[in-house]
Amino acid sequence: MDSTIENKTITLLDQGYVELQEMMGNDLAIVNAARVSYLGESKGDESDEKLLNYLMKNKHTSPFEMVQFKFRIKCPLFVARQWQRHRTWHYMSVNEVSRRYTSEKIDFYMPEQWRLQHESSKQASEGVADTELQTFCQESLNEVVNHAVAVYNYMIDNGVAREQARMLLPQNIYTTFICSVDAHNLLHFLLLRRHQHAQYEIRVYADAIWSHFFKPLLPWTAIAAEKYLFSNELD
């Protein structure tokens, strides 16, 4: 049972990242949590993996809550607010950078391409803008960001309170936060945010967590999730 990863920090988008800071537990911890119901112990890899698959197939979710992840995330503000909708991420105890306390290190997300609004879905995109519109959108965003930063810095330099000056900063500003989640609720997050209908920017983070952290660290659970939880949901 492999439970190691080569890189604990994965860079994403243009200036973002996801960093695994801590992890508690492994596939065996899930199995042992299930077997404690009748004071049982590990019976070897083959039997243990079989039990884990049984738990996933039959939606016995509490043993999967025995594994905990803690991440440090740098992402655009609008991605963080989507993330915040998943209250099971222990988000009430999250620590996030606050522009009330600091005016340093301001980064902005600049997309590589601009997508078009989906014709039938109010919350989705579909296809990309033509070259002329791409150029207009990129130049306009650059102009907005540069103007916002210039006015913001002027306000800060002249003594305006950070808690008010921050209102000038657009939603593509990067924010950084730390949060934790158990394996069961992380799987639910991944099920929703790796879906093709999820916004591209948050999907990038979900895909990275799945590929670089979840699968290498919980290989049995990942195989069971692909078989019984995800199946065709990501198609």
In the predicted structure, residue 67 carries a pLDDT above the cut 50: yes
Domain ranges of the chain: 9-96+173-230, 115-168
User: Which range is most confident: 84-88, 89-93, 153-157, 194-198?
Assistant: 153-157
Per-residue pLDDT reduced to its tens digit, 26-51: 999 999 999 886 556 677 899 999 99
Of the candidate ranges 90-94, 126-130, 185-189, the one whose mean pLDDT is the lowest: 90-94
pTM of this prediction? 0.90
**How far apart are alpha carbons 195 and 198 in whole angstroms?**
5
**Could you confirm whether 193 is annotated as catalytic?**
yes
Any idea which fold 9-96+173-230 has?
Gyrase A; domain 2 (3.30.1360)
Residue 152: burial class (beta carbons within 10 Å; 0-12, 13-18, 19+): buried
Q: How confident is the model at residue 86 (pLDDT cuts 50, 70, 90)?
A: confident
Q: Which of 81, 85, 193, 203 is catalytic?
A: 193
Residue 221: burial class (beta carbons within 10 Å; 0-12, 13-18, 19+): buried
